[in-house]
Amino acid sequence: MHVETMQLDPRIAAIHYKDYRKKVREHKVLRQKELERRAHDAGKELGRVRIERTLMEKEDTILMESYRAMAKGMRILNLSAVMSAAGFDKVKKLPVLAIAGANWEHCHLRHQRERIVFSKTSWPDWDYGRGRFKGPCVAFPQDVFAAEITNFEWRKTNNLPRVDQQQALVPAIPAHLRPSGDLSQYFILWEARWEQRAPADPLLLKHVAGNMYSVLAQWDLTLIEQAVLEGRIG
């Protein structure tokens, strides 16, 4: 499986990271002073002022953490861009790629709340208070994917399978590549066969920030590994 990744000379990435971190810290100081001024002008205690991270600050974090990952020699990828570029298969018009937690056995595909969701369970719950899904899942805005995937009525008219009824086997990580510790902190990206068949050449990822993930490993499943994986069926 080939996906587009980004990589810098670790030395150059480290310079970018340190420089950007310095600028971000300077910006935070200026923002804190502005909050104090606003709180004083409003006659309120600073503790009562809700500090919201602006879009700029979120993007600063994503960029800074991406530089830090590349400073360690890692390749990184923009997961949303990769999923969008991969598109859909020609027969079922389903996503070519799937993303799952490294500790999942199965990945369920959902089209829910104007999002495409890759979930550990068949029906992820929605947290109304936080405006996001509960439990293990990776969600994308539906516009990341082509209309052939997200248009329910078009799919029905063309006798295509329902997106919400799809399930795929999640590849197991070989022992020599398996991270120590909690596997729920890692993810696997692979070419999904939305049926009970094992995939071929997955990627092991770790979340960096935002849509950015670092690539830790890639491997080919042997025939015996595929057979063992398919033993999960039933």
Place of tokens 């049926």: 195
Q: What is the pLDDT of residue 56?
A: 67
Q: What tens digit of pLDDT does each residue of 141-197 get?
A: 999 999 999 999 999 999 999 999 899 999 889 888 999 888 999 999 999 988 777
CB 186 within 8 A of CB 101: yes
Q: What tens digit of pLDDT does each residue of 70-114 get?
A: 999 999 999 999 999 999 999 999 999 999 999 999 999 999 999
Q: Residue 47 — very low, low, confident or very high, per pLDDT cuts 50/70/90?
A: very low
Q: What is the pLDDT of residue 49?
A: 46
HEC string of 12-79 equals HHHHHHHHHHHHHHHHHHHHHHHHHHHHHHCCCCHHHCCCCCCHHHHHHHHHHHHHHHHHCCCEEEEH
